[in-house]
Every structure is written in C-alpha cells, then in structure tokens.
C-alpha cells in the first residue's frame, strides 16, 4: 500500500555545502525551525561522501570552493541515475549568465544569490522538497508496480506450468490410447496361436517391443517435464518408419475400411530423430485422415501418404485424404490444444498439438491445406542428414 506524503514521519534531510563555516550556519539557521534535518559539508569530496552514504533530499551548495567546485560536485551527483531527482540548489555570489548556464548544464535545479534571504530560502526549499517527495512517490509506485508485476508473472508461470502439465498428460493419454489398440490386437493374435500350440511370431513380439518403447518414451516425457534436454535421436530412413507405422495401424484395425496409397522415393530419406516420436506423428496424421474419410458415402475412402525430398533439400511427408475437409475459418485453430472437429467423445483435441511440438523440436515445420467437401492435406518436413 502506498504511503501518502503527509504520513511520511521522517523529516527531510538537507545537505548544506560551503567551505566557510559561517556561511553554512547562516543557511542552516532558517531551516532548523522548519523541522528539517540539516547536514553540513565543508568541501565537495565530503559532500559526495555524505550523498552516497546517507539519504539526502536536497543539496544547498556554494559554487566557488577550493578543490572541487560546486558545478563538478553536482555533475557527479547527477551521474548516478538513482540521484537524478535529487534537487541541487546553487548558493552563489555569481550573477553572470554563463554561471547559470553552466549550473543548468550539470543538472542544477535552482539558484539563490548571496546574501540569502531566509524567507526566499525556506520557500524555495519547501517547493523543491515537495517536488522531490512527488518524484519519490512516483519512484516508489514504480517499484511497487514492478514487484506486483513480478508476483503476477510468477503466478502466471505457475498457472502456465500446470496448464502445460495438464495438456502434456492429456497428450500422453491420447497417444497411449492409440498404441493400446495395437497392444490388444497383438495380444489377441498371440493368444490365438497359443491355443493352437503355436509359438508367437517374431513380428508379433517386435510389435510388443514397439508398444513398450512408446510407453517408455511417454513415461520419460512426464518424468522429465520441466527439465528440458536433448532427446535420444538416431539416423533413420523415413521411408522405413512410415512403412512400419502403416503396418502397425493395419494390425490395430485403424485402416481396415480405408484404401491407403503410398508414394515413396527410390532412395533413402535419412533423418535424425527419435523413432517413437516420429511414429507418433504418423500415427496421429494417418489416424486423423482415416477418421476424416470414414463418413464418405458416395466416394472411396482414400488416404495418400507421399514422401519426397523437397526443393529445399528436406524430407517432406504429406498425408492427403478425400474426406469432408476443414472450413477455412477453422484451419488456424486445428493445432490449438483441445480443439477438435470430431464429434463429442471421438476426439481429444490433443493429437495435432503433440504432432506440431514433435516436428518443431526436430527443426521441422508442419502445415495444413483443406477444401471443404474435397479433403485435407497435412504436411511436415524434417532436415535431411546427408
């Protein structure tokens, strides 16, 4: 809470600087009955020391002094940004215009001519102290505002952290739900072979290992939340990752009613990524495309997965569907957390934010183009490792 000027119980402190003791007493005499705290300095060095060590609200200073004159003392005081609002009044017998210009040039606030009139002195001091108190109040308000802003910033960071953690947990749940269907289908196949006294196939066991890898990655992601660091990455052929992921989706039954066309280059597309994370990207984008064409009644339900090397020398993957499309005014929102165009209960709105985060973490970009009633294309690129 701000303290009004009238409630400031500390009397203002005035520093009188003059090499002549009698002059110092003459200036101090009218100030003491006003209740001011008066300090004295006999030279410039002593004045600077007092100003730097104590709180001073006003300086009344002679100009002509041995050693460091008043102009130099004022200049050094005003060099300190914290003392820019400290009023400095020159008390001098100098009447020429050049002296006043010099005083203003070094930051002097006012002039009083010797011999000093006590009434004029107290009036000038009162006005300057009132102005100094106003500046001090503004400075204190600025400090309080900065403190409040810092507290608010910390509160927002905590709130943002909790919101991010909630989004992250929701995203992990979404991804685990995707991989759960693969796990259930693979276990069902192994059980069928077991009832027929047949051993589990290597590809089924490999698929279980893939599920375990996915779960491990998500667990690590939650455990390392708030402690960012490089994720494990390896050089992979993006073609192989896409093919393996599509096989996994077929096994899970996600593509049983969809015609998938793949267009792959003849040469490898080497990228340095975490395999499980890029599988997440493909699972989400292809799964969304399959959901988009599920409502097609009068045309084939088709999804095209196309890999290529872009003109910029990057690996580019496009997933195109011929579904219902996305309205133009909704395109910008598709990557926002919890936004979904799917029917209630069929989408979490967390898949695409996760996809965007993964792609960008590897230096890639993701884009979307869509035409209502014709279809949608999601594309992402990654740096090629030559």
Per-residue confidence (pLDDT) for residue 294, from 0 to 100: 86
303/275 Cα distance (integer angstroms): 22
Confidence (pLDDT) at 314: 94
Q: What is the mean pLDDT of residues 84-100?
A: 82
For the chain, the residue count is 386
**Cis ω on the peptide bond leading into residue 5 (within 30° of 0)?**
no
What CATH number does the domain located at 9-116 have? 3.40.50.2300
Domain boundaries, the chain: 9-116, 230-386
> Under CATH, what is the fold of the domain 230-386?
Heat Shock Protein 90 (3.30.565)
Is the pLDDT at 236 greater than 70? The verdict is yes
Report pLDDT for 144: 83
Residue/partner pairs of 328-334 with CB below 8 Å, 24 or more apart: 328/370, 328/372, 331/368, 331/370, 334/368
* pLDDT given for residue 379 in this prediction: 95
Phi, psi of 293 (to 5 degrees): -90, -5
Average pLDDT over residues 87-93: 88
pLDDT of residue 3: 38
Average pLDDT, the chain: 82
Confidence tier at 80 by pLDDT (50, 70, 90): confident
Return the pLDDT at 364.
94
The distance of Cα 17 from the centroid of its chain, to the nearest Å, equals 50
pLDDT in tens, 278-304: 888 888 899 889 988 988 888 899 999
**Predicted confidence band of residue 230 (pLDDT cuts 50, 70, 90):** very low
Q: What percent of the chain has pLDDT over 90?
A: 34
Least confident of 36-40, 89-93, 350-354: 350-354
Report the greatest alpha carbon distance in the chain: 118
Q: Is the pLDDT of residue 196 over 90?
A: no
Kindly report which listed range (67-81, 282-296, 343-357) carries the lowest average pLDDT score. Answer: 343-357
Q: Are strands 13-17 and 58-62 parallel, antiparallel or unpaired?
A: parallel
pLDDT value at residue 46: 93
Residue range 19-57, pLDDT digits in tens: 989 999 999 999 999 999 999 999 999 999 999 999 999
Give the residue with greater pLDDT, 71 vs 172.
71
Per-residue model confidence (pLDDT) at position 270:
95
pLDDT at 322 exceeding the cut of 90: yes
Higher pLDDT, 123 or 178: 123
Contacts of 310 (CB under 8 A, 6+ apart): 316, 381
Q: Report pLDDT digits (tens) over 130-143.
A: 888 888 888 888 88
- The better pLDDT of the pair 100, 225 is held by 100
| The pair of three-digit structure tokens given for residue 204, joined into one six-digit string | 């089924």
- Does 226 have pLDDT greater than 80? no
């Amino acid at each position: 809470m701000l303290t009004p000027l009238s409630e400031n119980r500390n009397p203002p402190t005035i520093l009188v600087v003059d090499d002549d003791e009698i002059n110092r007493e003459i200036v101090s005499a009218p100030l003491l009955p006003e209740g001011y705290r008066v300090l004295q300095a006999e030279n410039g060095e002593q004045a600077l020391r007092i100003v730097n060590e104590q709180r001073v609200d006003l300086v009344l200073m002679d100009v002509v002094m041995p050693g460091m004159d008043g102009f130099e003392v004022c200049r050094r005081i005003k060099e300190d940004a914290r003392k820019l609002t400290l009023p400095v009044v020159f008390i001098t017998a100098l009447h020429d215009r050049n002296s006043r210009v010099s005083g203003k040039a070094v930051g002097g606030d006012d002039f009083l001519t010797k011999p000093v009139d006590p009434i004029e002195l107290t009036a000038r001091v009162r006005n300057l102290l009132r102005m100094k108190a106003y500046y001090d109040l503004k400075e204190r308000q600025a400090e309080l505002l900065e403190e409040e802003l810092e507290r608010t910033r910390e509160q927002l960071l905590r709130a943002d952290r909790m919101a991010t953690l909630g989004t992250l947990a929701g995203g992990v749940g979404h991804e685990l739900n995707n991989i759960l269907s693969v796990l259930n289908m693979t276990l069902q196949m192994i059980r069928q072979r077991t009832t027929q006294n047949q051993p589990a196939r290597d590809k089924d066991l490999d698929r279980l290992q893939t599920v375990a890898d996915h779960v491990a990655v998500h667990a690590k992601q939650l455990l390392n939340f708030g402690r960012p660091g490089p994720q494990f990455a390896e050089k992979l052929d993006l073609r192989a990752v896409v093919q393996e992921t599509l096989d996994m989706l077929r096994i899970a039954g996600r593509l049983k009613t969809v015609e998938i066309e793949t267009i792959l280059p003849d040469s490898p597309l080497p990228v340095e990524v975490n395999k499980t994370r890029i599988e997440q990207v493909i699972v989400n984008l292809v799964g969304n495309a399959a959901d988009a064409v599920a409502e097609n009644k009068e045309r084939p339900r088709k999804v095209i997965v196309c890999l290529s090397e872009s003109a910029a020398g990057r690996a580019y993957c496009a997933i195109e569907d011929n579904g219902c499309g996305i309205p133009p005014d909704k395109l910008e929102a598709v990557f926002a957390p919890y936004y979904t165009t799917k029917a209630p209960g069929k989408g979490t709105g967390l898949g695409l934010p996760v996809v965007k985060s993964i792609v960008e973490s590897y230096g890639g970009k993701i884009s979307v183009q869509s035409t209502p009633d014709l279809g949608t294309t999601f594309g992402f690129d990654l740096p090629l490792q030559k």
